[in-house]
Amino acid sequence: MTMMFPKDGDLKAGLRKADGLPAEPTADLFTPEPLEASVREELSKPAPTFWKEAMERLFKNKGAVVSLAILIILSVMAIVGPSMNEFTYREQHIPHSNLPPKISGLEWLGFNGKDVTGTDVYAERGVETNYWFGTDEFGRDVWTRVWKGTQISLFIALVAAFLDLLIGVVYGGVSAYYGGRIDNVMQRIIEILTGIPNLIVIILFILILEPGIRSIILAMIITGWVGMARVVRGQMLQLKGQEFVLASRTLGASDARLLRKHLLPNVMGPIIVTVMFTIPTAIFFEAFLSFIGLGLQAPLASLGVLIEDGYDAIRSFPYKLLIPAVVISLVMISFNLLADGLRDALDPKMRK
């Protein structure tokens, strides 16, 4: 860049003012150095890749960043939370049953060990140890159970979403790529599957298999992959006719290369977004199944089981319901907000 005003660097600012020149050179005093186009091309900074640009956009989205932070904190707690005190999620200790939450230093927040009538239960029963989130009717530590439950809920949701992803991408991809009769048959199968109400399939499934983590996951993926398959098929159909795919075929690219290099990278965005929306749905569905009594069996805890237990004692021991309910709400809101943010970040239409 060259400056337009005369080269009188050692002149004082005051003198410049006297000459009618501003003290600070303003933007309009600058003129771009005439550069050859080719040199200018080399000077400009390298273009960000698609993913880098998408991440930049995602991190500009406040909601998504906060959600991501909350999810990271909750995940860490789900892993380390259960081993942060000396209790286990299944250990019963009847003399300490139904103790309200108590954390020393956080009494003003309600963690004061007083029950709904205002009596300090810890003092009354002479309990020395503090239960951070209180205890349930068998004297099990709710803190441990909540984080154990979060862990199990997240695990079920992640596994279910991953299996949905696997089946959905393969099914949708094959259906769209080969097309014709194969596509026709595969789509009819999907229609039959979606024609049967989800809940009936799942309830029947759990009745046959014994309730447990595995059967819940199986029950959820038996119909869950359909959404993913449809998204992938739609995207692939759109891409298949694009000229860059034809160009690659005229160059003699194999099916595997076409899928790996051209088709999959271009459907990655919608796939990620769909997965991110599947996870909260799976968490909610697990909670729902547990709530109607088809979920995990005691003493295993999931957020749904804890909410169901808490619901029974909502009047006398509201903390039992409140704590797992807050956690599950946070998880679901965060996943949804993050998925929203990702969708906006990955949508090519948002590109400037």
Partner 1 sequence: MTTEANQQAAGGASGAGEDLLVVKDLKKHFRLDRKTVLKAVDGISFSIKKGETLGLVGESGCGKSTVGRTLTRIYEPTSGEVEFNGMKIGGRIDRGTKRRLNHDMQMIFQDPYSSLNPRMTVTEIVSEGLVIHNPDMKPKERDKRVHELLELVGLNKSHAGRYPHEFSGGQRQRIGIARALAVEPEFIVADEPIAALDVSIQAQIVNLLKELQKDRGLTYLFIAHDLSMVKYISDRIAVMYLGTIVELAESEALYEKPLHPYTQALLSAIPLPDPDKERTREQIILSGDVPSPTDIPSGCRFRTRCPFAMDSCAAVDPVFREVEPGRQVACHLYDPEIMAKEGRELQHQ
How many residues sit close enough to partner 1 to count as binding (CB under 8 A)?
25
Binding mask 47-86 for partner 1 (x = CB under 8 A): x-xx------------------------------------
User: Binding to partner 1 (CB under 8 A): which residues in 262-301?
Assistant: 262, 265-266
Q: Which structure tokens are listed for 322?
A: 């409140």
Q: How far is the CB of 312 from partner 1 (least distance, A)?
A: 53
Which is closer to partner 1, CB of 201 or CB of 253? 253
Which is closer to partner 1, CB of 4 or CB of 43? 43
Q: How far is the CB of 30 from partner 1 (least distance, A)?
A: 25
User: Binding to partner 1 (CB under 8 A): which residues in 142-171?
Assistant: none
Q: Which residues pair with 112 in a beta bridge?
A: 102
Which is closer to partner 1, CB of 10 or CB of 36? 36
Q: How far is the CB of 43 from partner 1 (least distance, A)?
A: 9
Q: Which structure tokens are listed for 148?
A: 């154990």
Rounded Cα gap, residues 33 and 293, in angstroms? 75
CB atoms within 10 A of CB 250: 7
How would you write 169-216 as a 3-class SS string? HHHHHHHHHHCHHHHHHHHHHHHHHHHCCHHHHHHHHHHHCCCCHHHH
Q: DSSP secondary-structure letter at 21?
A: -
User: Binding to partner 1 (CB under 8 A): which residues in 227-266?
Assistant: 242-244, 246-253, 257, 261-262, 265-266
User: Binding to partner 1 (CB under 8 A): which residues in 322-351?
Assistant: 348, 351
* Burial class of residue 307 (count of CB atoms within 10 Å of its CB; 0-12, 13-18, 19+): buried
Binding mask 34-53 for partner 1 (x = CB under 8 A): ----x--xx---xx-xx---
* Burial class of residue 285 (count of CB atoms within 10 Å of its CB; 0-12, 13-18, 19+): buried
Q: DSSP secondary-structure letter at 99?
A: P
Which is closer to partner 1, CB of 58 or CB of 289? 58
Query: Could you tell me what percentage of the chain is helix, strand and coil, using 3-state DSSP and rounding each to the nearest 5?
Result: 70, 5, 30
Q: How far is the CB of 98 from partner 1 (least distance, A)?
A: 58
List contacts with partner 1 (CB under 8 A): 38, 41-42, 46-47, 49-50, 242-244, 246-253, 257, 261-262, 265-266, 348, 351
